[in-house]
Structures are given as C-alpha cells and as structure tokens.
Amino acid sequence: MIILKKSKYPLSYDDLIDYLKKKKIDFNRSTVFRNLNYLTENNFLIKVNFGDGKIRYELKERDHHHHVICRKCKKVYDFYDQDLDKAIKKLEKKLIKKNKINIDSHQFEFFGYCQKCL
C-alpha cells in the first residue's frame, strides 16, 4: 500500500506489477490480485474506471477529489472543487429521496487534452 500512498494518481494492477518488478520484490501475481480485491472490499481502496478497460486503484483515505484525464498521453490530474462537491451532494440527496437508494460513493472525471498533447 506504500506505493498507492506515494502515488499522485490511481494505479492499475499492471502498474503495481511493474513497480514490484522494478524494485526486485518477490511476489505472486494472484496474491497481488487477491489483495487488491480484499482491500477494495474492505474499503481501504477505491476502484477507479476511466472507461479505457483498465481498473485503477487509489487509497480511500486520500482527501475527496475528482480526476481530469488526458485522452492522448493518459496523464491523470487530481482536482477538488468545493462548488462541484456541493452540487453533487445536493444531487445525491435528490436521488436518494426520489429513488430510495443509498448512495455511498460517486466518481466524476473530465476527459480532454493536456497542454503537451494539444
């Protein structure tokens, strides 16, 4: 979990495997996968999906934030906006009341092109 704590963006299973190989840490691929599932199921990690077929993980303990993703280089930027969060909370309350559903999380991403890829 140290790599997830140090990372400035969500990491995929492949990112974690590459890190372990680079650090020459002995590991079992299925154990890494099982641990990711365990940590997600027990609310230590959040799964993040940017619609590219790759699941990424980040620590749940991080401050609440959203993401901006470059469509070309795939760089991920974290952002937080208080006004956006207020609007989302208001919408969640409306959805809970109207649909009688318990919302426990949400994801909000923007996609575009970074300055380098324009």
pLDDT in tens, 72-111: 998 999 888 999 989 998 999 999 999 988 887 788 899 9
Based on the structure, what is the number of domains in the chain?
2
Q: In this structure, what CATH number is given to the domain that contains residue 21? A: 1.10.10.10
Residues 81 and 108 in one domain: yes
The residue from 16, 31, 62 where one domain ends is 62
Q: How far apart are CA 10 and CA 24, in angstroms?
A: 22
Domain that holds residue 39: 1-62
Residue 53 is predicted with a pLDDT of 87
Can you read off the two tokens belonging to residue 54?
A: 């790759």
Residues 43 and 95 in one domain: no
DSSP strands (E only) in the chain: 11-12, 45-49, 55-59, 66-70, 76-79, 109-112
